[in-house]
Amino acid sequence: MRPKKTILCVESNEQVLSVRTFLLETRGYKVIACETSRQALDVIQQSTPGSIDLLLTDLLLPQMDGNELVRRAKHIQPALPAMIVSGTVSSFDRAIAADAFLPKGASSAAELLERVRVLVARKRGPKKAVAPAPAYDYEPMVADQTTARAS
């Protein structure tokens, strides 16, 4: 059995946080739920690098928005993937610090789960090392001067 991937989920709306936590946990993820950016940063600082597989946060949070949270989180753990979800913003322009952006109302739960799956897989990296392409010794082909003039 594969170990569960851990998602740090940050959302100031308690009801939305509960629904998102339930959605992710029923798909086999371990969820650490936080209602504030400060709580999330404390969790990130106290965790060992690599123990959190994804930071999933709302853009609009009290005290510190999602972009600033992602910037600070990546300063603490640079390899931590992050996705910002927002119901008030329909473009990626406001969520530039994250690896992915998803508009809340315009996306389904299935799309959220797929983006989470992709980001968690990307963090994990390739399953096996890729062998470098073999180097070949070759002589560069030079056109024969006599045939080049005849053409």
| Averaged confidence pLDDT in the chain | 80
The CATH number covering residue 13 comes to 3.40.50.2300
State pLDDT tens for residues 21-62. Answer: 999 999 999 999 999 999 999 999 999 998 999 999 998 888
pTM of the model: 0.75
What token pair was written down for 95? 């969520």
How far is 62 from 38, CA to CA, in rounded Å? 10
Distances 94 to 21, 58, 76 between C-alpha atoms, Å: 24, 12, 22
Structural domain includes residue 34: yes
* Residue 40: closest CA among 56, 23, 53, 24: 56
Question: What total of structural domains would you count in the chain?
Answer: 1
Q: Which domain holds residue 30?
A: 6-125
Structural domain includes residue 130: no
Under a CB-based contact definition with an 8 Å cutoff, are residues 52 and 8 in contact? yes
| Mean pLDDT value of segment 105-120 | 84
The better pLDDT of the pair 106, 147 is held by 106
Structural domain includes residue 106: yes
Structural domain includes residue 73: yes
| Mean pLDDT value of segment 107-117 | 86
| Mean pLDDT value of segment 87-104 | 70
| Mean pLDDT value of segment 112-126 | 77
State pLDDT tens for residues 64-93. Answer: 989 999 999 999 999 999 999 887 665 555
Q: Give pLDDT, residue 135.
A: 46
* Predicted confidence band of residue 127 (pLDDT cuts 50, 70, 90): very low
Structural domain includes residue 121: yes
Q: What percentage of residues in the chain have a pLDDT greater than 70?
A: 71
Structural domain includes residue 148: no
